[in-house]
């Protein structure tokens, strides 16, 4: 995306975050039809259409600078939002290499990576970073490799070690999550940290997903979409800060739902890492208000129907209970009952 | 937030002897003596007998909490000896037992099996130490007995509140009322506690004793 | 994986390191570097012989930090279906080969407190790369390497230079056997054992470790054996709608590939489960040679691993 950055957007306080018309049209709607239920909706992370959120390995959009600033704010108050167990150092370097190589390849106007053997030179123009360092020597970077590079990327990252036929979440930068805690889940296996998700276990979703991921190949990343809703364009909806954002849920009315209620979509990518044989799980978060969403007639109808008919267990788990009815009521006038075309393309 | 019945709650099973192990290390607290004695009985009949079995035991003070003073001559110790285990030690408190447990693991060899019986929080603390030595689920058996009281980790201030028997509890660190969830961390040996009335301050569900 | 994922390499070094083992160095055609890998990884080498295509897995034995070339060691197999003979007899400096991206099914456990490595013959190869990762680290390790006689000890000089007395050698010719029982009975908690070598040795190590009370999760093994031969048979691929003949010395997977149908695979050795294929119809019996399916699954006869398994049948229809 040839974006102009909006560095002063906020995701707290006055919530000045807004999507430009281009950002709205490229929004990754997670509903291909008028109803929603879980599936292992994994697909190869191949290049999507030009300008789309899947065109590149890691999407950099108009919110990039603002999101990096927001991450710094979260970490300054709560350093434990970043954690890495000692044996994960080789995977940290793998992640740094993956992100730097991808950003430099896909956004040469913003990022530059030049290498002479182990001597690397990284330039990040939007964040005004110019860093020379020795790859493999953590002392030559101002922070640990994973900490360092994820402060320059949008979205959360969890690194999973593969051993004993399972995946273990043992490093991560998690500041833009939908209500789960890296600190609490650190060290858990795949099914343990997905423990709280209702219904999916009975459907065998996690058994199949785990089996698939254990065989994930180098050079063949995969992706899927996940979604929930958030009040205000707030990225930090961590359990840690629930006392701050929880009360927002009770302030939604059918009148203000258009501005307050946001669809929150996670574009999740999974890559096998070469030196550590671990897997990095990237969770890229996109926010759009109902009002912005409703500027696309097909999407207004679709989201109205999905929300209206959502399974009660999902309503509860996704935290929509208090405001679901208000959101449905706000969207109702946009739904004339006309059929919607399958697929997510805006119309 | 209020989801219950989730899959990350640990599951325990009645202890059984694992005769594929060569060394058997048993940890018990309070009524946990009974399952251990049962396993000892099973092993006495097996080929390798009880020569490589060690018991570390914490007598119950009677109210579900461990003693804080010296163990004295706990009757269970005599029962372990009568059952044929030569290597039995009793401890006056959980920290002393766990320290000795860690020291034992430092000297232990591959082929060791660990058996833990007692309240869940005791099991959790023992497992935390076992994790340091790369003991995994194939080498550990745990039976929960005694109180179901939980250790609760407040996700907001990160304090751990011990011995929680109710569905909601006031955090020892920040005084928020926390819902005691079923989401469990082996690393922290505790269940997650999340503020229960964030969305509607002051609206608390009825307090019930559920982890007895 | 599929054939679309191969890279073209040129042989830039060939050395006879023991009477039976040749050491090959492969560099990317057109220069540059090869992908980074983790110790224990293998590549599938695709060899275009005159009459057929061979696809054999070989462990990468070079340092994961040296990426201008890959190094493999190939043992000349006595009863070969042709792959190792092709490598020994037809491949020279300048030869071109196709290789797939490295895959690691034999990685070191990152939270092990100690690593015990056991190699038999050509089985030394994955450990050479793993030793690069272990050297200089804080976790103790030792290598026990068994060969027929001193002249068959491939790469020993290289090993001794770096590892000194962390290497323990055993020569069959001198009656020296690895003392598996006493070795495995005396390891501290948190040790992992890794074995690569002949099938018999692997079976023995696994059995001894289990007998000493080791849990399976601490026992790691890798075996590169050629798919077993068997009677010829015919198979019908339901989706491709073609009939495929499987000759005695070609695996079911190879025959299907030769007929132009791709089957996902990773190890080609019956271990990883990637080529798992559904059996739609069977009049006869399946010959399961894999380590992936459970006994119950094998008995049900609804699944087959075509990389190593075969059939004795009047008819067999697969979901391909």
Q: What are the pLDDT digits (tens) for A201-256?
A: 666 778 888 888 998 988 889 999 999 999 999 999 999 999 999 999 999 999 99
DSSP per-residue letters across C244-303: EEE-TTS-HHHHHHHTT-----SSSSSSS-TT-EEEEEEEEEEE---SSS-HHHHHHTSE
B18 domain-assigned: no
Strands B150-154 and B190-195: parallel
Q: Residue B117 belongs to what H/E stretch?
A: strand B112-118
Distance separating alpha carbons of residues C101 and C118, to the nearest angstrom? 26
Has residue B134 been placed in a domain?
Answer: yes
Note whether A246 contacts B198, CB cutoff 8 Å.
yes
Residues A135, C65 contacting (CB under 8 angstroms): no
By the CB < 8 Å criterion, does B174 face chain A? no
Is B163 in the same domain as B139?
Answer: no
| Residue B80 counted as domain residue | yes
Residue-wise DSSP of A139-199: GGSSS-HHHHHHTTSSSEEEEEEEETTEEEEEEEE-SS-BS--HHHHTT-BHHHHTTT-TT
Question: Is residue B2 in some structural domain?
Answer: no
Phi and psi, residue B177, nearest 5° = -80, 120
Q: Which of residues 39-98 of C touch A (CB under 8 A)?
A: 41, 64
Domain presence at residue B16: no
Q: Which chains contact B through at least 3 pairs of Cβ atoms less than 8 Å apart?
A: A, C
| Alpha-carbon gap, residue A54 to A223, rounded angstroms | 9
Query: Which C residues, 197 through 226, put their C-beta within 8 Å of a C-beta on chain B?
Result: 210, 212-218
B34 and B98, same structural domain? yes
Provide the percentage of residues in chain B whose pLDDT is more than 90: 73
Tally of domains within chain A: 1
Inspect the interface and report whether the beta carbons of A185 and B3 lie closer than 8 Å.
no
The pLDDT, as a whole number, for residue B1 is: 39
Residues of chain A with Cβ-Cβ distance to B136 below 8 Å are 164
Considering the domain architecture, whether residues B35 and B100 belong to the same structural domain is answered as yes
- On whether the CB atoms of residues A195 and B9 are closer than 8 A, the answer is yes
User: What distance in Å separates the CA atoms of residue B111 and residue C185, rounded to the nearest whole number?
Assistant: 8
Q: What is the pLDDT of residue A1?
A: 52
* Cross-sheet strand order for the sheet of C233-237: C242-246, C233-237, C310-318, C277-287, C303-304
Q: Which domain holds residue B162?
A: 150-195
How far is B129 from chain A, CA to nearest CA, in Å? Answer: 14
Count of structural domains, chain B? 2
In a domain, A148, yes or no: no
CA distance linking residue A297 with residue A292, whole number of Å: 11
> For the sheet containing C70-75, what is the strand order?
C53-59, C42-48, C96-100, C6-16, C21-28, C70-75
pLDDT at C225 (0 to 100): 72
The reply to whether A104 falls in a domain is no
Sign of CA dihedral A224, A230, A234, A236: negative
| pLDDT score recorded for residue C2 | 47
State the CB neighbour count (10 A cutoff) for residue C225: 13
Q: Residue A206: inside a domain, yes or no?
A: yes
Find all residues with CB under 8 Å of A177, minimum gap 6, and list them.
Answer: A156, A236, A237, A238, A283
Whether residue C151 contacts residue C20, with contact meaning beta carbons closer than 8 Å, is answered with: no
Q: Mutate which of B137, B174, B187, B190 to test chain A, going by most A C-beta atoms within 10 A? A: B187
Interchain CB contact of B153 with A (< 8 Å): yes
Q: C217 vs A217: CB contact, 8 Å cut-off?
A: no
Residue A2: alpha-carbon gap to chain centroid: 20
- CB-nearest to B138 from C190, C191, C217 is C217
Residues 236-255 of A with CB under 8 A from B: 239-243, 246-247, 249-250
Q: Is residue A55 part of a domain?
A: yes
How high is the pLDDT of residue B64?
A: 52
Please check whether residues B82 and B179 belong to one and the same domain. no
- Which of A170, A186, A274 to mutate against chain C (most C CBs within 10 Å)? A274
Q: Could you say which residues of chain C have pLDDT below 70?
A: 1-4
Q: What CATH number does residue B28 fall under? A: 3.40.50.80
Contact C311, C285 (CB under 8 A): yes
| Chain mean pLDDT for chain B | 89
Domain that holds residue A289: 21-85+154-334
Instruction: Report if residue B107 sits inside a domain.
Output: yes
- B155 and B61 in one domain? no
Query: What domains can be seen in chain C, in order of their start residue?
Result: 3-100 (2.40.30.10), 114-222 (3.40.50.80), 233-318 (3.10.20.30)
| CA C39 – CA C126 distance, rounded (Å) | 7
Looking at the structure, tell me whether residues B37 and B86 fall in a common domain. Answer: yes
Q: What is the ipTM of this complex?
A: 0.89
B66 and B170 belong to one structural domain: no
E-strand ranges in chain C read: 6-16, 21-28, 42-48, 53-59, 70-75, 96-100, 114-120, 141-147, 167-171, 191-196, 219-222, 233-237, 242-246, 277-287, 303-304, 310-318
Q: Do B110 and C214 touch (CB under 8 A)?
A: yes
Subunits with 3+ Cβ pairs within 8 Å of C are A, B
Are residue B158 and residue B77 in the same domain, yes or no?
no
Residue A177 maps to a domain:
yes
Clarify whether residues B77 and B97 are in a common domain. yes
A224 catalytic? Reply is yes
Three-state secondary structure call for residue A75: helix
User: Above 60 in pLDDT, residue B94?
Assistant: yes
- Residue A250: DSSP 8-state: G
Mean pLDDT, residues B135-144 = 93
**C217 with A164: Cβ contact below 8 A:** yes
Residues in chain A predicted with pLDDT less than 70, given as ranges, are 1-3, 39-40, 199-203
Interface size A-C, in CB pairs within 8 Å, comes to 49
Boundary residue ending a domain (B144, B161, B178) = B144
Which chain C residue lies closest to A165 (C-alpha atoms)?
C217
Q: Which residues of A touch C (CB under 8 A)?
A: 87-88, 94, 97, 161-165, 215, 217-220, 274-277
At A127 the pLDDT is 97
Nearest by Cα to A281 from A156, A166, A194: A156
Indicate if B127 and B181 belong to the same structural domain: no
Retrieve residue B158's tokens: 């990160």
| Residue B4 within any structural domain of the chain | no
Residues B97 and B118 in one domain: yes
Same domain, B52 and B37: yes
- Determine the number of helices (DSSP H) and then strands (DSSP E) in chain C: 7, 16
- The reported pLDDT for the residue numbered B2 is 44
Residue B37 lies in a domain: yes
Q: Does C104 touch chain A (CB under 8 A)?
A: yes
Q: Look at A277 and C1 and tell me if their CB atoms are within 8 Å.
A: no
């Amino acid at each position: 995306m040839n974006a102009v950055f909006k560095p002063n957007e906020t995701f707290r306080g006055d919530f000045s975050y807004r999507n430009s018309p281009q950002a709205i049209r490229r929004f990754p709607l997670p509903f291909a039809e008028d109803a929603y239920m879980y599936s292992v909706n994994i697909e190869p992370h191949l290049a999507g259409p030009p300008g789309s959120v899947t065109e590149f390995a890691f999407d950099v959009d108009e919110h990039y600078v603002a999101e990096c600033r927001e991450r710094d704010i979260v970490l300054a108050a709560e350093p434990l939002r970043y954690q890495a167990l000692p044996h994960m150092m080789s995977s940290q370097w793998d992640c740094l290499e993956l992100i730097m190589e991808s950003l430099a390849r896909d956004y040469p106007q913003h990022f530059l990576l030049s290498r002479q053997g182990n001597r690397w030179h990284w330039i990040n123009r939007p964040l005004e970073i110019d860093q020379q360092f020795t790859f493999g020597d953590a002392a030559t970077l101002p922070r640990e490799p994973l900490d360092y590079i994820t402060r320059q990327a949008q979205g959360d990252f969890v690194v999973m070690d593969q051993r004993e036929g399972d995946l273990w979440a043992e490093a991560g930068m998690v500041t833009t999550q939908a209500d789960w805690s890296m600190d609490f889940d650190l060290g858990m296996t795949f099914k343990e940290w997905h423990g709280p998700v209702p219904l999916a276990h009975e459907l065998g979703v996690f058994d199949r997903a785990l089996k698939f991921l254990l065989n994930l190949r180098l050079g063949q990343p995969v992706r899927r979409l996940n979604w929930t809703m958030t009040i205000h364009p707030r990225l930090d909806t961590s359990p840690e800060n629930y006392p701050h954002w929880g009360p927002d849920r009770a302030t939604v009315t059918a009148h203000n739902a258009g501005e307050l209620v946001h669809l929150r979509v996670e574009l999740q990518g999974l890559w096998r890492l070469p030196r550590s044989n671990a897997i990095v799980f990237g969770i890229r978060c996109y926010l759009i208000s109902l009002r912005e969403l409703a500027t696309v007639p097909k999407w207004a109808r679709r989201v109205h129907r999905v929300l209206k008919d959502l399974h009660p267990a999902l309503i509860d788990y996704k935290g929509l209970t208090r405001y679901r009815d208000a959101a449905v009521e706000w969207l109702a006038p946009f739904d004339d009952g006309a059929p919607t075309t399958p697929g997510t393309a805006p119309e | 937030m209020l989801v219950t019945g989730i899959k990350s709650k640990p599951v325990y099973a009645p202890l059984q002897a694992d005769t594929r192990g060569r060394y058997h290390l048993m940890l018990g607290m309070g009524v946990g003596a009974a399952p251990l004695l049962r396993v000892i009985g099973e092993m006495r009949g097996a080929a390798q007998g009880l020569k490589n079995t060690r018991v570390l035991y914490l007598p119950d003070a009677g109210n579900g909490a461990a003693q804080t003073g010296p163990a004295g001559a706990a009757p269970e110790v005599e029962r372990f000896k009568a059952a044929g285990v030569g290597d039995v030690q009793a401890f006056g408190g959980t920290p002393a037992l766990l320290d000795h447990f860690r020291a034992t693991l430092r000297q232990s060899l591959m082929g060791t099996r660990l058996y833990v019986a007692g309240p869940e929080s005791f099991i959790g603390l023992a497992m935390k130490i076992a994790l340091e030595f790369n003991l995994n689920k194939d080498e550990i058996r745990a039976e929960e007995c005694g109180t179901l009281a939980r250790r609760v980790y407040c996700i907001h201030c990160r304090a751990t509140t011990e011995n929680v028997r109710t569905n909601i509890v006031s955090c020892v660190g920040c005084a928020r009322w926390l819902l005691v969830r079923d989401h469990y961390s082996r690393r922290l040996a505790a269940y997650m506690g999340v503020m229960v009335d964030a969305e509607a301050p002051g609206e608390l569900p009825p307090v019930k004793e559920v982890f007895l | 994986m599929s054939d679309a994922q191969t890279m073209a390499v040129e042989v830039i070094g060939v050395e006879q390191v023991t009477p039976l083992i040749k050491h090959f160095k492969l560099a990317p055609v057109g220069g540059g570097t090869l992908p980074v890998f983790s110790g224990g990884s293998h590549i599938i080498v695709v060899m275009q012989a005159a009459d057929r295509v061979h696809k054999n897995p070989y462990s990468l034995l070079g340092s994961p930090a040296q990426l201008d070339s890959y190094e493999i060691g190939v043992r000349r197999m006595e009863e070969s279906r042709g792959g190792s003979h092709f490598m020994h007899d037809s491949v020279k400096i300048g030869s071109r080969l196709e290789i797939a991206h490295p895959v690691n099914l034999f990685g070191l456990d990152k939270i092990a407190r100690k690593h015990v490595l056991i190699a038999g013959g050509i089985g030394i190869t994955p450990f050479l790369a793993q030793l690069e990762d272990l050297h200089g680290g804080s976790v103790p390790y030792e290598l026990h390497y068994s060969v027929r006689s001193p002249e068959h000890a491939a790469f020993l000089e290289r090993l001794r230079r770096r590892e000194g007395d962390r290497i323990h050698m055993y020569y069959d010719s001198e009656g020296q056997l690895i003392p598996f029982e006493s070795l495995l009975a005396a390891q501290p908690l948190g040790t992992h054992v890794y074995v690569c070598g002949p099938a018999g040795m692997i079976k023995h190590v696994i059995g001894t470790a289990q007998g000493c009370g080791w849990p399976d999760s601490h026992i790691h093994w890798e075996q590169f054996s050629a798919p077993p031969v068997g009677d010829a048979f015919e198979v019908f691929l339901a989706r491709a709608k073609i009939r495929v003949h499987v000759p005695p010395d070609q695996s079911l997977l190879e025959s299907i590939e030769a007929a132009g149908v791709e089957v996902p695979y990773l190890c080609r050795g019956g271990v990883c489960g990637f080529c798992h294929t559904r059996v739609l119809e069977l009049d006869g019996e399946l010959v399961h040679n894999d380590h992936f399916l459970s006994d119950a699954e094998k008995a049900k006869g609804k699944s087959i691993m075509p990389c190593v398994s075969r059939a004795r049948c009047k008819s067999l229809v697969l979901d391909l």
